[in-house]
Amino acid sequence: MSEELLRIAVDAPISGALTYLNGTGEEAANRGQSVLVPLGKRKARGVVLGPGKLEPNIKLKAIQARIENRPFIPEDHLSWLEWLAEYYLYPIGQVTALAFPPLDQPERKRKSHKAPVVKSVAAKPAPKLTQEQAQVVEDIGKINDFSVHLLHGVTGSGKTEVYLQLLERVIERGESGLVLVPEISLTPQLLDRFSARFGEKIAVLHSHLTEREKTEQWWAAVKGEKKILVGARSALFCPLEKIGLIILDEEHESSFKQDEKLKYHARDSAIMRAKFANCPIVLGSATPSLESWQRAKEGRYHLHRMTHRVENRALPQVEVIDLREERRARRDQTMEVPLPFWLSSHLFEMMKETFARQEQVALFLNRRGIAQTAFCGDCGHTFECPNCAISLTVHGHGHLVCHYCDYTDRLGEKCPQCQSSEVQPLGLGTELVEEDMRKLFPELSIARADRDEIHSREALEQLISDVENRKIDLLIGTQMIAKGLDFPGLTLVGLVLADVGFSLPDFRASERSFQLLTQVSGRSGRHSDDPGKVVIQSYNPDHPAILFTQSHDYQGFAEHELVTRQELNYPPYSRLAMFRIQGPTLQRLDQASELLQHRAQTLRQSRSEYEKIQVLGPAPAPLAKLRGKFRGQMLVKCPDAMVLRAFCRQLMGDSSWLPKGASAQIDVDPINML
């Protein structure tokens, strides 16, 4: 390409590419080459997208240099990055910048005395596949070009072994594989399994690596020194060549959606990455998202089912305890051992029996701390965060913490409003569960796994090792222990309060609850000849998420939930975009909201295709104030994704209509509705 004018995706918040003169005195840089360009009074990095067009009355600046220590972005990868920018309405230069490691390429290999990123473990031969596993490997392995495969396998059915066998075929063909898992699932257990099968061929990318480690792993994958890249969602941006297969495990996980900056969904983006690379992609889950399930039902995805656990082990037996009945029974009888308010006598007895057999128990509660809030019994004052419209959570030793902005305070003995001494915590958290358990079972080894207790990857790895080696009898945790963990001695799981999440103002609340209950239940009895046991405690025992979890009926839950989605025109029956509005004051937020609403009404009336658009709001966000900013949101629905994006792009414009200090962001296909 010898054109003198080039379109450059500059790493800056500019919606489109900028045109520059070649200016280096050399043959023009090729598409995918990185260059250094002047931008205002500074220099910026950018990527060549192709030939530029001369626009009248614009004085063009020249490219200053090529950046040689960055690789070319392959054509399929660059086309995908352009799609991302277009689909998620985000500046192309800031999207292409994500395709590079955090640091420049090291000039020479540094001698490292640190522990390797991927530990070497003893090689293990592949186990004999079950009939279902073998059939799935065979069926997926028949197709080498672009295709989407939804692997719906119950917990413990051996999905990871299917991935390993498929990746072996990819390596035999001389191609590379990309495996994406939720950050929380990137456990030593998972990496050890990959290392045992593929040895030195594994590269890993996750948030707990240093920037130098990320850079070295990135280059090892790009140069083909490592054939399989395993990582969290951002590993998707590594420009691998000759991709033969993409795997996305736990495809239903909401953490695959990024909420900051480029608000991409790794699942949907990975599907398009596979399309541009013309390779198959496998989406795996015991509880697929309803969007993926519906597409499989419609024949757009290949559906593969694994309905049995490995070695035909039974799925756990799930019992449901009605906490309303439990409270009534306690009023009418005297108990030998006074139990905490949250613990049913049935779960307590089952725990004692399990410990007597020297087996392990896990208690799950998706709330940290001692209690959700503190309040005054005399005047009703509740302790709220001054920066966010949310109650402060009570932690040990009288600490009050905001889990959104990290504001902290002390819980005094007297109410700051009326000086009463009737200040007391209200609610339940993992810290209180741990305190109560230590009183009931002082002789046991008890550990807690939540973000307050586990501050580093090393701490999590040590905890997992201790549970595996039976050094821990009782594990208490949040969703940190719900996914991807496989403990041979764990035979009883108690869900302390299943109702957490049922009533969130989010149309996906029921789906998320079902997924979480199923995933947590699936930790029980994975290596036991006898069925594992699960006890679900709830004040809403007839909630569909609980009933379908009890009967291990994903398909029944999906059909039940899809009826509601269709009636309300929510995904998968429509596409969504969320406008998130922020203002330094309530007045400025209201001003911005009114302007946005007026623009939306005017735009809807301007073009006939926009008649399909449905606008809800603007209204205050469920979290109406966060980190000192007042928040509102407007939801836009449309059955046609292209029409929706065109509407949103026009509606936002260049943001010059926003009042001073206010901001608005577009979230295409939003997951977090709070």
Which domains does the chain show, CATH number per domain?
A: 5-73 (no CATH), 131-312 (3.40.50.300), 317-367+430-564 (3.40.50.300), 369-427 (no CATH), 575-668 (3.30.70.600)
Residue 74: partners with Cβ closer than 8 Å, 6 or more residues away: 32, 239, 241
Exposure class string for 85-115: b at 16+ Cβ within 10 A, else e:
bebbbbbbbbbbbbbbbeeebeeeeeeeeee
Q: Say which residue, 454 or 402, is predicted with more confidence.
A: 402
Percent of the chain with pLDDT over 90: 66
Confidence of residue 113 (pLDDT cuts 50, 70, 90): very low
pLDDT digit string, tens, across residues 20-44: 998 766 666 789 999 999 998 999 9
Mean pLDDT of the chain: 90
Return d(Cα 497, Cα 504) in angstroms, integer. 15
On the question of pLDDT at 423 being above 90, the answer is no
pLDDT for the residue 107:
55
Query: Of all residues in the chain, what percent are helix, strand and coil, respectively (each to 5)?
Result: 35, 25, 45
On the question of pLDDT at 2 being above 50, the answer is no
pLDDT digit string, tens, across residues 551-608: 999 999 999 999 999 999 999 999 999 999 999 999 999 999 999 999 999 999 999 9
Evaluated on CA atoms 170, 171, 174, 178, the torsion sign reads positive
Q: Coil, strand, or helix at residue 138?
A: helix
Between strands 5-10 and 42-51, the pairing is: antiparallel
Lowest mean pLDDT among 5-9, 502-506, 661-665: 502-506
Return d(Cα 394, Cα 146) in angstroms, integer. 51
Residue 217: partners with Cβ closer than 8 Å, 6 or more residues away: 117, 203, 204, 205, 209, 226, 229
On the question of pLDDT at 112 being above 70, the answer is no
Q: Give the ranges where 177-306 is alpha helix by DSSP (H).
A: 188-198, 211-222, 266-277, 290-297
Return d(Cα 643, Cα 569) in angstroms, integer. 16
Lowest mean pLDDT among 67-71, 133-137, 482-486, 636-640: 482-486
Q: Say which residue, 646 or 313, is predicted with more confidence.
A: 646
Q: Say which residue, 454 or 388, is predicted with more confidence.
A: 388
Percent of the chain with pLDDT over 70: 96
pLDDT for the residue 109:
54
Six-digit token string for 101? 């490691």
pLDDT digit string, tens, across residues 270-324: 999 999 999 999 999 999 999 999 999 999 999 999 999 888 888 899 999 999 9
pLDDT digit string, tens, across residues 238-284: 999 899 999 999 999 999 999 999 999 999 999 999 999 999 999 99
pLDDT for the residue 75:
96
